[in-house]
């Protein structure tokens, strides 16, 4: 048995309600057993930033106003351009494993999402062997470890990114098989590393639960607009199958680890796709606060026509030819939103008081075009900006979703009212949280356009559009953790904890204070906290 002291296993973006229900009914027996001998607690995400920033916030114990990352494409302060944060260090903060390493604790960090490779770590690190968000590609520390993993386990069966084309029943079955094989490989990889050394802290994250949620929610949820009973009968419930594979892997890993303090967690959840951030630029235009750049608008229309034509042609190729050409298409063809080349927003900045800023698809971002901060700022900071934000917020909250007759937007947050830190200028000024009352995912996955969304207000009139993105599942802000072992003190259940509390809890369990954390060690796990 290995002498691991702290073991952390992630079920990335696994839905808490499913984890609870399936633990209770015997579907996930290893999670159920862990909960019975320890405690479970809900995890509360950060308002407005429960998508892209989740993992950096978790492993640093800080908000994006301090670590600086909120999405894979971000606005570059002082310009009207976007950039990829990973090209400039990704985060400005201290991961908990760095603090442990500095305190002479030996660590092993395997596939922690959205984490830069630390080549001076006291231990080992594997980066993106099988991750959902492939920003860097597969690397390892020490460098020789990468070749060893490739030789022993090959590449992850699903590849560098699980986002893909719209799938047939056969495609879905193969995709899920690949995810399960990936889970099994990660389980064996984890057990091998556990046998090799006396780790003080060991972490492995199963991103397969994230992938299956985004890509296959419509085969799990009969209420989803893309649910196909015949396809579901042929494929089964992919979400349940992958969760069960991870639960089985957790059982084998816990047995290998022996006496340790163990955490199993999902940092944020998953449900049907909701919201329609693709409508926000048009909404801002209708409200007269963001003026489209005419030339850019024309070019965007041409690009949209070309993409639609290319997609039409691709899906009409014979399957063997598509398989042969897939590598070329993946390299040169359309990319998911987070992987497309960043470009200037198609807005006439000299005539606009704000503009749309990417923030994770299910939540929108708006940046104020402030005088003195932006190159062509038109909005004066102070009372003028405050009055503008108040009026814009009300205009956004007045928009109604025609499917439900209810508000389309449930909340608009002024970020500076909730967050403070040196990286605040990297964040949107406003965050738009869409109502998740009904699904807006693709209505026919594999054919045609996505669900048509129509919203209206007295000021915007009717605004409509389609979600053509291939995902059918999207994130929810609540997560869940199970914890058990010698370091856990308390009853079977604890109150909901902040995502910022996890990193300082883990370091404190090993006798180290994460001094940069904004969260606190969790009461009921760390004595005297």
Token pair 């809890």 in the structure block, residue: 505
By the 10 Å C-beta count (0-12 exposed, 13-18 middle, 19+ buried), 521 is classed as: buried
The residues with which 363 forms a beta bridge, in sequence order, are 433
Tens digit of each residue's pLDDT (9 = 90 or more) over 38-51: 989 999 999 999 99
Contact between 34 and 263 (Cβ < 8 Å): no
Q: For residue 506, what pLDDT is reported? A: 97
The larger pLDDT score, comparing residue 73 to residue 95, is at 95
Classify residue 323 as left (phi > 0), alpha (psi -120 to 50) or beta.
alpha
Q: Percent of the chain at pLDDT above 70?
A: 86
Hey, how many other C-beta atoms are within 10 angstroms of the C-beta on 336?
16
How many CB atoms are closer than 10 A to CB 279?
A: 24
Beta bridge partners of 465: 453
Least confident of 125-129, 304-308, 343-347: 304-308
CA-CA distance, 428 to 80, in Å (whole number)? 13
- pLDDT per residue over 382-394, tens digit each? 999 999 999 999 9
Q: What long-range pairs does 452-456 form, CB within 8 A, spacing at least 24?
A: 453/276, 453/279, 453/401, 453/403, 454/401, 454/402, 454/403, 455/276, 455/279, 455/283, 455/399, 455/400, 455/401, 455/402, 455/408, 456/399, 456/400, 456/402
Q: Report the pLDDT value the prediction gives residue 494, as an integer from 0 to 100.
A: 65
Cβ–Cβ under 8 Å, residues 246 and 210 = no
Instruction: Compute the distance between CA of residue 14 and CA of residue 211 in angstroms, rounded to an integer.
Output: 10
CA nearest to 257, candidates 192, 189, 194, 185? 194
Higher pLDDT pick, 330 / 369:
369
Burial class (CB in 10 A: 0-12, 13-18, 19+), 197: middle
pLDDT band at 310 (very low <50, low <70, confident <90, very high): low
Quick: pLDDT tens for 112-143: 999 999 999 999 999 999 878 888 999 999 99
- Residues in Cβ contact with 387 at an 8 Å cutoff, skipping those fewer than 6 apart: none
DSSP state of 415: G
- Whole-model pTM: value is 0.89
Among 343, 274, 336, smallest CA distance to 50 is for 274
Within 8 A by CB and 6+ apart from 231, the residues are 169, 172, 219
Q: Interior CA angle at 304 toward 427 and 133, to 5°?
A: 45
**Mean pLDDT score of the chain, rounded to an integer?**
88
Q: Is the link from the previous residue into 168 a cis peptide, with omega within 30 of 0?
A: no
At 134 the pLDDT is 83
Q: Which pair of structure tokens corresponds to residue 99? A: 């603090």
312 has a pLDDT exceeding 70: no
| Closest to 124 in 3D by CA, of 192, 62, 56 | 192
Cα 277 to Cα 31, 224, 366, 432, 474: the distances in Å are 35, 19, 11, 9, 13
Contact of 407 with 435, CB cutoff 8 Å: yes
SS in 3 state form for 12-35?
CCCCHHHHHHHHHCCCCHHHHHHH
DSSP string covering 41-60: EEEE--TT-SSTTHHHHHHH
CA dist 367 and 409 (Å) reads: 17
Architecture of domain 6-273+474-509: 3-Layer(aba) Sandwich (3.40)
pLDDT greater than 60 at residue 267: yes
Instruction: Tell me what the mean pLDDT of segment 224-236 comes to.
Output: 91
Q: Quick one: how far is CA 457 from the chain centroid? A: 31
By the 10 Å C-beta count (0-12 exposed, 13-18 middle, 19+ buried), 476 is classed as: buried
pLDDT of residue 325: 59
The domain locations on the chain are: 6-273+474-509, 277-292+347-470
CB distance 279 to 361 below 8 Å: no
Tokens of 228: 């196909």
């Amino acid at each position: 048995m290995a002498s691991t002291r702290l073991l952390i296993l992630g079920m990335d973006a696994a839905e808490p309600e499913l984890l609870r229900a399936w633990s209770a009914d015997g579907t996930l027996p290893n999670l159920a057993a862990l909960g019975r001998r320890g405690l479970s607690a809900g995890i509360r995400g950060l308002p407005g930033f429960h998508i892209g920033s989740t993992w950096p916030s978790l492993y640093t114990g800080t908000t994006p106003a301090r670590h600086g990352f909120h999405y894979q494409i971000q606005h570059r302060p002082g310009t009207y351009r976007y950039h990829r944060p990973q090209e400039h260090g990704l985060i400005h903060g201290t991961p908990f494993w760095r603090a442990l390493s500095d305190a002479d604790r030996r660590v092993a960090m395997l596939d922690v999402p959205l984490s830069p490779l630390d080549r001076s770590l006291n231990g080992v690190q594997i980066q993106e062997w099988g991750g959902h968000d492939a920003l860097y590609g597969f690397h390892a520390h020490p460098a020789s470890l990468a070749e060893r993993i490739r030789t022993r386990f090959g590449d992850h069966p699903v590849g560098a990114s699980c986002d893909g084309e719209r799938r047939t029943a056969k495609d879905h079955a193969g995709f899920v098989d690949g995810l399960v094989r990936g889970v099994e490989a990660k389980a064996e990889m984890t057990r091998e590393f556990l046998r090799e050394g006396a780790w003080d802290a060991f972490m492995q994250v199963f991103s397969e639960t994230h992938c299956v949620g985004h890509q296959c929610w419509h085969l799990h949820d009969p209420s989803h607009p893309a649910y196909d009973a015949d396809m579901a009968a042929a494929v089964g419930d992919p979400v349940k199958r992958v969760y069960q594979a991870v639960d089985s892997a957790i059982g084998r890993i816990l047995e290998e680890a022996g006496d340790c303090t163990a955490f199993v967690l999902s940092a944020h959840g998953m449900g049907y796709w909701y919201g329609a951030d693709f409508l926000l630029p048009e909404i801002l235009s209708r409200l007269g606060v963001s003026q489209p750049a005419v030339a850019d608008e024309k070019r965007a229309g041409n690009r949209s026509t070309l993409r639609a034509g290319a997609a039409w042609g691709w899906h009409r190729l014979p399957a063997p030819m598509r398989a042969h050409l897939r590598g070329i298409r993946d390299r040169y063809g359309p990319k998911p939103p987070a992987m497309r080349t960043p470009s200037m927003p198609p807005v006439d900045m000299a005539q606009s008081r704000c503009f749309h800023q990417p923030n994770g698809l299910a939540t929108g971002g708006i940046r104020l075009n402030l005088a003195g901060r932006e190159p062509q700022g038109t909005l004066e900071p102070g009372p003028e900006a405050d009055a503008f934000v108040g009026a814009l917020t009300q205009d956004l909250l007045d928009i109604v979703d025609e499917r439900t007759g209810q508000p389309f937007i449930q909340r608009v947050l002024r970020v500076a009212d909730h967050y403070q830190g040196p990286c605040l200028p990297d964040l949107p000024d406003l965050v738009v949280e869409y109502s998740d009352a009904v699904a807006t995912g693709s209505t026919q996955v594999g054919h045609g356009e996505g669900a048509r969304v129509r919203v209206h207000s007295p000021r915007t009139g009717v605004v409509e559009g389609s979600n053509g993105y291939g995902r059918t599942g999207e994130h929810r802000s609540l997560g869940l953790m199970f914890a058990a072992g010698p370091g856990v003190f308390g009853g079977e259940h604890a109150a909901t904890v902040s995502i910022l509390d996890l990193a300082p809890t883990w370091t404190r369990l090993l006798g180290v204070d994460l001094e940069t954390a904004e969260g606190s060690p969790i009461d009921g796990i760390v004595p005297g906290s």
